[in-house]
Every structure is written in C-alpha cells, then in structure tokens.
Amino acid sequence: MPTSAGPRLLGPAEVRQLAAELDLRPTKQRGQNFVIDANTVRRIVRESGVGPDDVVLEVGPGLGSLTLALLEVARHVVAVEVDEVLAARLPATVAAYAPEQRDRLEVVLADAMRVTELPGPSPTALVANLPYNVSVPVLLHLMALLPSLERGLVMVQAEVADRLAAPPGSKVYGVPSVKAAWYADVRRAGSVGRNVFWPAPNVDSGLVAWTRREPPVTTATREQVFTVIDTAFAHRRKALRGALRGLAGSAEAAVAALEAAGVDPMARGEVLDIAAYVRIAEALPWEDPE
C-alpha cells in the first residue's frame, strides 16, 4: 500500500495483479494496451504542462496508471471509460493508491466517440493514452465538443502521431492533419517504445501535443470546409479540379472556385493548408439547405 510519502503509481506487478483480480484480458477490439511504466506516465504528465488549476479529461483510463499521475498535479480529473468493469474499479484503485486525491476524480461510463456532455467543471486539458483504433475520431470529436479544452497531449500509434502533426506536402499529410489544424497547432512531442505497455503492441507509439487556437474566420461552415477536405483526399491522386468536380457540380465550377480561392486547379489536396481549404469552401456554390 502507498505510504505517507505520497501516491504510488502502478508498475508491471500492480497492473497484472489488478488485471488478474478483474479477470481482465485486454482486447484488440477496444485497443487496450495498459501502461506499466511509472516513468512514462510521469513523462506524459510533465510534457502535457498540466498544473493545479487544470481540469483534465482522460479518455480510456484503463486500470489507472495515467490517472494516478494526473491526480498528483491536476485540480480535477474526469475519466471517460467505455468498459464497465474498468470504470467500476477505478475509484477503488485511486482510493487505495492515492486516498487524498480520490475526491478529485470523476469517472464517466461512456463511449468517448458518442459523449455529448461531461459532468462537473469544464475540462481545460485532454491527456490520454487513446485507444489506437479510434484515436483520430475521438480526438476530433472532443476538440469540436469541448471548446474549453486549451491544450492536450495524447499518446497514439506512431504512424497516427506523424499524420496528425504532418505539414502540407509531406507524405503522411492527410485528412487528420488538416482537420486537427482547424482547431489547434499540433506538434510531435516524442516517441514511446513498446515495452512500457502490457500487452506490448506490435507498433511503436508517439506523443502528440496541441494548443487550441481560434478556428479560421470564414463565411463557410466547419462542415463545409471538412466536406471539401474529405472530398479532396478521397481522390488523392487527382488534381483538385477533378477531385472536386462532383462537389462543385461540374469541372468548370470546380475550376472557377479554385481560381477564386487562389489555388491552382491542377494542384493536389495534400499540398494545401487549412487556410486554402477554407477559401475553397467559401468559393464553392453550395446548395441552400431546405
């Protein structure tokens, strides 16, 4: 048990013991890989810049490795967990390992992809080891849902981390890169090896840090801008005049919109930044909703 020296974090033995007590077998379906290294969770908390004024949103707390580290420094932690067994156990784990901080934890049994509101004070930071299979849609959903989030640090598959932080024109620049840029300045914040997880995944992980900024000022809606992004990358190898033809109504209308936006009609979607997509959305002839 923890001593008066302060909360103890979970190591390999504690994680496996908790899993055994719960008869837990991590599933690929839910992207479950639990962190078993205390130095890694301390590093994540340190890199996140979370402090005593922050209300932290954690997605997929699992057995509580990162939760305990966050409770050491944050004012409040809201942990969203989709697994009923894990959600039910987390408060008891915190009570055992960090009894003085248990009142600062709120556990929400929910799917982070479908959550529409959270209890308590508005979260200011998102810090999470995101389930690999849904990391991008969860991140984009929470950025849209919670404008109170000022910054975040998430651990995701290394390839996804590269994609989220990629600049225009790079090989891995794509839909996640552009959509994330609508909400925030995004950067790669380091790498994480496989051996800090149980079970060890067959891919490396990466840290992605982001800082909220105001979305672009535009007469187009976010949905319209995102529709242009999706359409441009759905036909990645096509020049934009062809890729956007269906959306514009004709190749001629696509060319007119692109030229009005100051974009070369023969350019491809992967060379454009978020500002260019905004200008295209503004120039397209959208039908008025009924």
The pLDDT of residue 192? 95
The pLDDT of residue 5? 46
Q: What is the pLDDT of residues 200-253, one digit of tens each?
A: 888 899 999 999 999 999 999 999 999 999 999 998 789 999 999 999 999 999
Bond before 176 cis per omega within 30 degrees: no
d(CA 202, CA 198): 11
Q: Residues 159, 167: contact at Cβ < 8 Å?
A: no
pTM: 0.92
The pLDDT of residue 288? 66
Whether residue 279 has pLDDT greater than 60: yes
Indicate the burial class of 171 (C-beta count within 10 angstroms; 0-12, 13-18, 19 or more): exposed
**Mean of pLDDT values over 179-183:** 98
Whether residue 25 has pLDDT greater than 80: no
Q: What is the pLDDT of residues 53-87, one digit of tens each?
A: 999 999 999 999 999 999 999 999 999 999 999 99
**Residue 3: band (very low, low, confident or very high) from pLDDT cuts 50, 70, 90:** very low
> What does the block give as tokens for 57?
């949103």
The pLDDT of residue 265? 97
Whether residue 4 has pLDDT greater than 80: no
The pLDDT of residue 2? 40
Q: Residues 117, 77: contact at Cβ < 8 Å?
A: no
Q: Residues 180, 215: contact at Cβ < 8 Å?
A: no
- Strand-pair partners of 57: 78, 126
The pLDDT of residue 34? 87
**Residue 26: band (very low, low, confident or very high) from pLDDT cuts 50, 70, 90:** low
Q: What is the pLDDT of residues 127-165, one digit of tens each?
A: 999 988 899 999 999 999 999 999 999 999 999 999 999
Q: Residues 112, 82: contact at Cβ < 8 Å?
A: yes
The pLDDT of residue 85? 94
Residue 26, classed as helix, strand or coil, is coil
Q: What is the pLDDT of residues 81-122, one digit of tens each?
A: 999 999 999 999 999 999 999 999 999 999 999 999 999 899
Whether residue 258 has pLDDT greater than 90: yes
The pLDDT of residue 289? 54
d(CA 6, CA 116): 35
